[in-house]
Amino acid sequence: MNPEAATEWQITLYRRMSGEQRLGIALRLHELACGVAREGIRNLHPEADHQEIERLLKHRIELARSR
């Protein structure tokens, strides 16, 4: 399957889902992205505690929103 066909197939599947199902996917993707970002922050700041990591994550999210 080529990328265009895969995208069309995925869109078709999403259209068959309820809004609640699509929202669930979006929330899981958001948590996955935050987890990846947290790991990146931990790698850059190994001395940071949980609160500092969350502060830096929030800062990253705010920067992304402002663009």
24-45 confidence digits (pLDDT tens)? 999 999 999 999 999 999 999 9
Q: Rounded distance, CA 25 to CA 22, Å? A: 5
pLDDT at res. 1: 87
DSSP structural state of residue 49: -
Q: Where are the domains positioned within the chain? A: 19-65
DSSP structural state of residue 17: S
Q: Indicate the pTM of the whole model.
A: 0.78
- Among 41, 46, 32, smallest CA distance to 60 is for 41
Phi first, then psi: give them for residue 45, nearest 5 degrees: -130, 70
Token duo for residue 22: 């699509």
Q: Rounded distance, CA 42 to CA 19, Å? A: 34
